[in-house]
Chain A
Amino acid sequence: MSIKDRTNEFQSAVDVLRNRQAVKGLDRQPLIPASPAFNQSGNRHAQKTEFARIAALIGREINMTTSKLEKLTKLAKKKSLFDDKPVEISELTYIIKQDIAKINKQIAALQEYTHNSQSKSLSKQATEHSSNVVLSLQSKLANTSLGFKDVLEIRTQNMKAGKERRDQFMFANSETTSSVGSMNLANSPLYTPDRKPTPSSLYDPSSSPANSLNSQSSDVLGLGIPMITPEQQQAQLLVAHQDNYIESRASAIESIETTIAELGNIFQQLATMVAEQRETVQRIDQNADDIEMNVSGAQKELLKYYKNISSNRWLLIKIFATIIFFFLLFTLI
């Protein structure tokens, strides 16, 4: 006895119908008071649509701003030094800033508008709705501006980082240029060994005599002194530069050294690992050999058993035949 209960289906059908009727009732309500009310409701409709239109407009603008912001973020997150587009970024930033300001103003206007219409005795739900809409728009805007701020921060950080890096490069550049200069100076045998020490060794001890000479014959050598002093200054500067450069080289070499040492360590570890692996592989090889041996042994045993059985089978058949024979003998007679 099978029974199917369809009460639930029936009840759900009733519910559906009830809902449908309820909806219909709502629709009918504003229609019951006739034409005079109709105008008002139409007016209200217009208000509502005005409000909705502005809100939609603001929403769309916020969306557009957000998309712009995304573009900006993409640009700002680029870390390459060369593909930097500062002009575009600054332009976008400017635009977004303006947009946000504009949207803010618009929202303020909308709020005012809703306040005004509130005084016009809209229904409680409608005012709540409009204030909710304004609030949500504001929060959206706030989110957007927060994002904008974040992007700007990222941008400044990136800029800072880029600058640092560039500074490094620039420093190195200046160093290299100076070193090239100094190298030139240093390498040219004409200049360095002779020229650099010579002024110091030649001129220093003879400076006083020279001075004395100068003082003595100031007319002749008075022209020479101003010529010597800038040169000396330059040389001193050059020496300082060279020191700096050598120090940095040394530190670089040191770091390379430590890296190489670390690498060596790693290679050693790798070697021990490989050695371990070899052991395991050897063991696997051995095991495979064992297995092969076992399998062949088992096969041999099976063959033996098979021979055993086949000889038994003949016996069984013989016994069975005799049984059948006797059975037939007894049943048929």
Chain B
Amino acid sequence: MDVVKAVQGYVLKMVDDLRGMKVLLLDVDTTSIVSLVATQSQLLAKECYLIDRIDNKNRDRMRHLKCVCFLRPTAQSIQWLVEELRNPCYGDYYLHFSNTLKKSTIERLAEVDEHEVVREVQEYFGDYMAINSDLFSLNLHPPQYQLYSESLATWNANTLERTVQGLSAALLSLKKKPVIRYERNSALCQKLAAELRYHIQQEGQLYDFRRADTPPILLILDRRNDPVTPLLTQWIYQAMVHELIGIHNGRVDMSNVPDIQSELKEIVLSADQDPFFKKCMYLNLGDLGANIKAYVDKYQNKTKSNMHIESIADMKRFVEEYPEFRKLSGNVSKHVAVVGELSRKVTQYHLLEVSELEQSLANSEHHGDDLKHLQQLIATPAVPEETKLRLVMLYALRYEKSPNNATRSLKDLLAKNGVSDRRSSVIDAVIRYAGEKQRQDDLFSNQSFLSRGRSALKGLKGVENVYTQHTPHLAETIEQLLKNRLRDTSFPFIDGGEVTREKPQDVIIFMVGGTTFEEAKYIAQLNATTPGTRFVLGGTCVHNSTSFLTDVVNADNLIRGIV
């Protein structure tokens, strides 16, 4: 149940199976898939001396090289491959596809293989981005992949196909044939579940794994049931970097950071290759600061010891350790730069105050205090517009049904502080997208007497950290699942599938509409604390607040366009 290992296994097997010098040929989709799990040096170690894109037309002819192709079987890349085979640049071709091939495609490839260069055709089901060992994403972002087509209840056909392919590839690479559960109120989840079920039935022989004692569970959830999590300011290292700077395919674009060194313009954050990041990715900013300090101290010690070069032995030691030292220094400067940027943004945007209010809005019911605080923050000019909007959105979601809802006056206040109407319309969009009526569960636990009492009890316990007291809605669902109390009425099994009552061993959660790093952190914690049960979280993409709001606005435009 480690998605990174799974995809890595595929990639390394691909280049390892073939002896001798070779070229790795990728397409648009697989480039990001491979780059997330393998480094250039890893591939070089397997005698893979050239990595190129199949849509690059200016490749040299090197008939002495063998070519390993790893492609998604999309119409586009098949077309590229057809052209490549018509006029081959390399000696032998070993074709690997990241998903199931149609029979007609194979025939088409056979037809154009006039030079008889194709040696192998294989399907390696690495058709998703493995971000962390327990987090994968399909990177479906608009405008290429719109989630909805006509209303919030219908999939965009293209996106649905890609999602089914990606999810089935994830299942195949993890060797799971799951029972599927979905959120009842979400038509999207139901449709996806049904499609997947159909796919599993169609490809029955592929899913013919050794049966586990308890069948794994695939839980399909909808982002719209929890609009709060992506709106909050994050304090976990990985989530924070994504929220404030943005992580795309494991790369962080630092070019907007003032006074940055040229070599740090674009950095890579990968838990697989960076032990320090692996250690700290789920720590909050405070703990991270302490860790960074220790790291820097270690670096300082190394530098000092490198200073003393008095004997030949010292010199030898220095030369031996120098590459390691360089690596360490690079890593230290990278993380220091990132953390420096993060803390700069925190102070610049008053994120501590903002986050305090956000957590209060997300977790507890103090209407008067929250409103006052909110008005105060809106009046503060240093807080950026997006943050103000987010706060108002959280307020609107939290007190949507409250009798003294003051969203209207807050909007006026926003207008007074220079936020245009067009921008503040996103507040209504969120309500329409994921308001009370659209949600299935009691997200804020303020709907029934019992849940109010429970949240009051929680409040009595006190909190460790004001800024990270919010737990995603996913946590509640998973808890119920672990206790076997997840109701069949709200999370039904897909028709025609088997029904299980046992405590699950493997749980794959898939979030339609995108997941977040906060949820990923929760899942990672859960993996560490619950022995016997393993979790993997996936999503159509990984959201930060910006991308989530873009999605919301997109969806809203779509609905209103129809209406």
Binding site for B on A (CB under 8 A): 1-7, 9-10, 13-14, 16-17
Binary interface encoding of chain B residues 1-18 relative to chain A, with 1 for a CB under 8 A from any of its CBs, else 0: 000001001100100000
Counting residue pairs across A and B whose Cβ atoms lie within 8 Å, the total is: 55
Question: Which residue from A1, A2, A10 sits with its C-beta under 8 Å from B110?
Answer: A10
A1 B123 Cβ-Cβ under 8 A? no
Cβ-defined contact, A2 with B175, below 8 A: yes
Chain B residues with Cβ below 8 Å from A5 are 120-123
Q: In the complex where A1-B9, A2-B175 touch, is A13 in contact with B124 (Cβ < 8 A)?
A: no
Contact between A9 and B122, CB atoms less than 8 A apart: no
User: Looking at the complex, which one of A1, A6, A10, A13 makes contact with B173 (CB distance below 8 Å)?
Assistant: A1
- Minimum CB–CB distance for B9 against chain A, Å: 5
Known: A9-B106, A13-B107. A4 touches B175 (CB 8 A): no
- Which residue of B has the minimal Cβ distance to A4? B123
B14 (CB) vs chain A CBs: closest residue: A3
Check: B83 CB closer than 8 A to any chain A CB.
no
A14 partner residues in chain B, CB cutoff 8 A: 110, 113, 116
Q: How far is the CB of B289 from chain A (nearest CB, A)?
A: 39
Closest B residue to A13 by CB, please name it.
B110
A6 and B121 form a contact (CB under 8 A): yes
Q: How far is the CA of A6 from the CA of B101 in the complex (A)?
A: 9
Tell whether, in the assembled complex, residue B124 and residue A10 are in contact, meaning their CB atoms are under 8 Å apart: no
Judge whether A2 and B106 touch: CB under 8 Å.
no
B109 touches A6 (CB 8 A): no
Contact of B172 with A by CB under 8 A: yes
**Main secondary structure on chain B at its contact with chain A?**
mixed
- A contact residues around B175 at 8 Å (CB): 1-2
A14–B120 alpha-carbon span in the complex (Å): 12
Q: Min CB distance, B6 to chain A, in Å?
A: 6
B209 at the A interface (CB under 8 A)? yes
Check B319 for interface membership: any CB of A closer than 8 A. no
- Smallest CB-CB separation from A8: which chain B residue? B121
Q: How far is the CA of A206 from the CA of B121 in the complex (A)?
A: 129
Q: Chain B 95-112 against A: per-residue CB contact (8 Å), 1 yes, 0 no?
A: 000001101001101110
* A13 to B106 CA separation, bound complex (whole angstroms): 7
Nearest Cβ on chain A to B248's Cβ, whole angstroms = 26
Question: What residues of chain A lie closer than 8 Å to B120, measured between beta carbons?
Answer: 5, 7
Contact in complex: A1, B10 (CB < 8 Å): yes
Contacts of A13 in B (CB 8 A): 106-107, 109-111
Bound form: Cα–Cα A1–B120 in Å: 18
Whether the Cβ atoms of B106 and A4 lie closer than 8 Å is: no
Which residues of the partner chain A approach B122 to less than 8 Å between Cβ atoms? 3-7
**Is B118's CB under 8 angstroms from A3's CB?**
no
Q: How far is the CB of A15 from chain B (nearest CB, A)?
A: 9
Which parts of B68-111 form the interface with A (CB within 8 Å)? 100-101, 103, 106-107, 109-111
Given contact pairs A10-B121, A13-B106, A2 touches B173 in the complex (Cβ within 8 A): yes
- Cα A84 to Cα B86 with chains together (Å): 81
- CB-CB under 8 A from B237, the residues of chain A are none
Q: In the bound complex, what is the Cα–Cα distance between A267 and B9 (angstroms)?
A: 87
How distant is the Cα of A14 from the Cα of B6 in the complex, in angstroms? 32
* A2 touching B121, Cβ below 8 Å: no
B345 to chain A, nearest CB (A): 40
Known A9-B106, A13-B106: A4·B6 in contact at CB below 8 Å: no
Chosen A-B contacts, 22 in total, with CB atoms closer than 8 Å, are A1-B6, A1-B13, A1-B173, A2-B172, A3-B10, A3-B123, A4-B206, A5-B122, A6-B122, A6-B123, A7-B119, A9-B106, A10-B106, A10-B109, A10-B118, A13-B106, A13-B107, A13-B110, A14-B110, A14-B116, A16-B110, A17-B110
Closest to A11 in B: B110
Chain B window 152-184, contacts with chain A (Cβ cutoff 8 Å), 1 for yes, 0 for no: 000000000000000000001101000000000
Alpha-carbon distance A68/B469, docked complex (angstroms): 101
**Chain B residue with Cβ nearest A14:** B110
Contacts beyond the supplied A3-B124, A5-B122, A6-B122: 6 A-B pairs with Cβ under 8 Å: A1-B13, A2-B125, A2-B175, A6-B121, A10-B106, A17-B110
Given known pairs A7-B120, A9-B121, the reply for A2 and B109 (CB within 8 Å) is no
Most chain A CB inside 10 Å of its own CB: which residue of B9, B103, B122? B122
B173 pairs with A4, CB closer than 8 A: no
| Residues of the A chain whose Cβ atoms lie less than 8 Å from the Cβ of B124 | 3
> In the complex the two chains form, what is the Cα distance from A17 to B116 in whole Å?
12
Q: How far is the CB of B546 from chain A (nearest CB, A)?
A: 35
Which of chain B's residues have a CB closer than 8 A to the CB of A7?
A: 119-122
Which chain B residue has the least Cβ–Cβ distance from A2? B172
State in angstroms the CA–CA spacing of A3 and B9 once bound together: 11
Residues of chain B contacted by A9 (CB below 8 angstroms): 103, 106, 121
A139 to B119, CA, bound (A): 51
